[in-house]
């Protein structure tokens, strides 16, 4: 019986790898796919690593379309990086094809696998303990947006339809209230009223897309700190990773979700909401980094709505937690019965604090925008 989660001999054969296989170790930072670092030794005696992933097809129902997106985007980025004199082996993921030219292979159990280059001498972090890292995060995602500015957006698949369609998220919330499948409606009355009081916000960006006021762009859709690799020596951001949710969307979605996740002074499930607030220093660092790269390609409307997008993505996330609580915790993993309710309260406390600080957020954003465009 094979004691490993994959067959190393099969990998070596499928990819025609000529180096000596030394072993593997799992990477446990991801929550969806299974990831392993494979270690090899070259004929010259140096070590060489590759990144093997098993795609979670329970989450990603169309792995071929997903990989078509990733291959298209990383190939485009690679050409841009070479044009600018960068290092394409470190500044973007590179999908390694099988000896038959495929970017996926399916094992006997029906699992979908892919192989990437492994970025050496780099690291990722989960919490921006050093504000400079949050600046670098903004810079990384700003550069990602800038480099893909001319990408043919209509060639991308929408792998998760309506992922950030907050208008439809609101409709799903009202349906959950009406059905009350969990029987816990009475426990969430203040939170339900909080969502309803901001119903108009849910339609703002969706309506602007329909009216042609905001451009669709290549968006990452999971812009957390741990999805950027930092150089081990310089501590500069070097590469955006985890591209499974790359698809057409708004720059505002990516910006807003970074702020929601990274500039919160408390954990996502902090029970004491008095600890929850938006860190304006962290917000400032991210804006500086982001606009230093993307400021010249964003439209004035995109820049104007950056602060609002942070509030909207936080509102949407809290609404999704609340919807799941009312539906009986069928989507998000929970550790205790009230977990989703606690999560939604944390998000709503952050929304409220952002509303109090919105004028300051706007001022910071416009000041930094003027610096890069004047």
- pLDDT confidence band for 305 (50 / 70 / 90): very high
For the chain, which domains are there?
8-120 (3.30.200.20), 131-373 (3.90.1200.10)
| Per-residue pLDDT, 32 | 78
Res. 1: pLDDT tops 90? no
Mean pLDDT, to the nearest integer, of 206-232? 95
**Mean pLDDT value across the chain:** 95
Q: Is 298 left (phi over 0), alpha (psi -120 to 50) or beta?
A: beta
Q: Please give the DSSP secondary-structure letter assigned to residue 278.
A: B
Mean pLDDT, to the nearest integer, of 328-355? 96
CA distance 70 to 62: 13
Do residues 94 and 78 touch, judged by C-beta distance below 8 A? Answer: yes
Write out pLDDT tens, residues 146-195.
999 999 999 999 988 899 999 999 999 999 999 999 999 999 999 999 99
Listed residue (254, 301, 291, 258) closest to 368, CA to CA? 291
Res. 15: pLDDT tops 70? yes
Beta strand residue intervals within the chain, DSSP E:
20-27, 34-41, 47-55, 95-96, 105-106, 112-117, 122-123, 217-219, 228-231, 237-240, 247-249
Helix (H, G, I), strand (E, B) or coil at 185: helix
Write out pLDDT tens, residues 275-296.
999 999 999 999 999 999 999 9
Structure tokens at 257: 């979700």
| Per-residue pLDDT, 30 | 57
Which position has the higher pLDDT, 333 or 55? 55
Res. 2: pLDDT tops 60? no
CA distance 83 to 91: 13
Do residues 199 and 168 touch, judged by C-beta distance below 8 A? Answer: no
| Per-residue pLDDT, 29 | 60
Which position has the higher pLDDT, 214 or 127? 214
Mean pLDDT, to the nearest integer, of 237-253? 96
Could you give the percent of the chain with pLDDT greater than 70? 98
Distances in Å between the Cα of 350 and the Cα atoms of 57, 84, 261, 315, 318 are 33, 39, 10, 9, 10
Q: Which strands, in side-by-side order, build the sheet including 237-240?
A: 122-123, 228-231, 237-240
Do residues 77 and 57 touch, judged by C-beta distance below 8 A? Answer: no
| Per-residue pLDDT, 338 | 97
Adjacent-strand bridge partners of 298? none
Q: How far apart are the first and last CA of the chain?
A: 65
Write out pLDDT tens, residues 88-124.
999 999 999 999 999 999 999 999 999 999 999 999 9
| Per-residue pLDDT, 3 | 65
Which of 129-158 are b and which e, b meaning 16 or more Cβ less than 10 Å from the residue's Cβ?
eeeebbbbbbbbbbbbbbbbeebeeeebbe
Res. 350: pLDDT tops 50? yes
| Per-residue pLDDT, 127 | 79
Which range, 19-28, 74-83, 327-336, has the best average confidence (pLDDT)?
74-83
| pTM more than 0.75 | yes
CA distance 19 to 52: 16
- Within 8 A by CB and 6+ apart from 264, the residues are 276, 277, 278, 279, 346, 350
């Amino acid at each position: 019986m094979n004691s490993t989660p994959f067959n190393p001999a099969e990998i070596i054969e499928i990819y025609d790898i000529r180096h000596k296989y030394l072993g593997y170790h799992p990477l446990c930072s991801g929550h969806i796919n299974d990831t392993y670092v494979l270690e090899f030794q070259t004929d010259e005696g140096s070590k060489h690593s590759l990144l093997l992933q098993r795609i979670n097809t329970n989450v990603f129902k169309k792995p071929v379309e997903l990989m078509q997106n990733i291959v298209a985007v990383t190939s485009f980025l690679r050409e841009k990086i070479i044009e600018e004199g960068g290092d394409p082996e470190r500044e973007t993921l590179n999908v390694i094809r099988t000896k038959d030219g495929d970017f996926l292979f399916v094992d006997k159990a029906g699992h979908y696998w892919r192989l990437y280059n492994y970025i050496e001498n780099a690291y990722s972090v989960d919490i921006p303990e050093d504000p400079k890292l949050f600046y670098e995060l903004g810079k990384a995602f700003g550069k990602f947006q800038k480099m893909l500015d001319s990408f043919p957006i209509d060639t991308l698949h929408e792998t998760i339809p309506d992922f950030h369609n907050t208008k439809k998220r609101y409709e799903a919330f009202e349906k959950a209230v009406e059905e009350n499948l969990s029987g816990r409606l009475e426990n969430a009355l203040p939170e339900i009223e909080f969502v309803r009081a901001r119903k108009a916000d849910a339609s703002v960006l969706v309506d602007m897309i329909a009216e042609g006021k905001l451009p669709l762009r290549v968006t990452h859709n999971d812009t957390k700190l741990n999805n950027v690799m930092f150089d081990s020596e310089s501590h500069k951001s070097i590469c955006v990773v985890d591209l499974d949710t790359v698809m057409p969307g708004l720059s505002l979605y990516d910006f807003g979700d970074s702020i929601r996740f990274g500039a919160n002074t408390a954990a996502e499930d902090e029970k004491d909401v008095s600890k929850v607030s938006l860190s304006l220093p962290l917000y400032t660092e991210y804006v500086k980094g982001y606009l230093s790269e993307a400021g010249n390609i964003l439209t004035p409307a995109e820049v104007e709505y950056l602060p609002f997008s942070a509030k909207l993505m936080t509102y949407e996330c809290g609404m999704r937690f609340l919807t799941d609580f009312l539906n009986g915790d069928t989507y998000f993993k929970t550790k205790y019965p009230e977990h989703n309710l606690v999560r939604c309260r944390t998000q709503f406390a952050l929304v409220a604090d952002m509303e109090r600080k919105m004028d300051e957020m706007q001022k910071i954003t416009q000041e930094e925008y003027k610096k890069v465009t004047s």
